[in-house]
Amino acid sequence: MGKKLTTGQAAEKAGITRDTIHRWIRDGLITAPEYRVIEGRATRLWTAGDVERLRKLKAQHKPGPKPKRRK
């Protein structure tokens, strides 16, 4: 079994942010690994295959224009 990565580590390897992963999970674009409790903290552990799926989704996803800031 390969090394497991935290959400932050998986995001870094995939070239995206943790917030992006959380948004994709919320929007149903990806299925997240189950939480594991490590040292009293609930953590998702991602595999190399999961990271590859994140990279593919990133390549498919083209962000729209950023909303204009209100003055």
Total count of domains within the chain: 1
Name the pLDDT band for 1 (thresholds 50, 70, 90): low
The answer to whether residue 40 is domain-embedded is yes
Q: How far apart are CA 61 and CA 23, in angstroms?
A: 13
* CATH (domain of 35): 1.10.1660
The answer to whether residue 70 is domain-embedded is no
| Tens-place pLDDT, residues 12-60 | 999 999 999 999 999 999 999 999 998 999 999 999 999 999 999 999 9
| DSSP state string for 15-28 | TS-HHHHHHHHHTT
The answer to whether residue 69 is domain-embedded is no
Q: Is the pTM here over 0.75, yes or no?
A: yes
Task: Using the structure block, give the residue that is written with the tokens 């950023």.
Answer: 66
- Amino acid in the structure at residue 10: A
Q: In this structure, are residues 55 and 14 in contact, taking their beta carbons and an 8 Å threshold?
A: yes
The answer to whether residue 22 is domain-embedded is yes
Which residue range is the domain that position 42 belongs to? 7-60
- Amino acid in the structure at residue 33: P
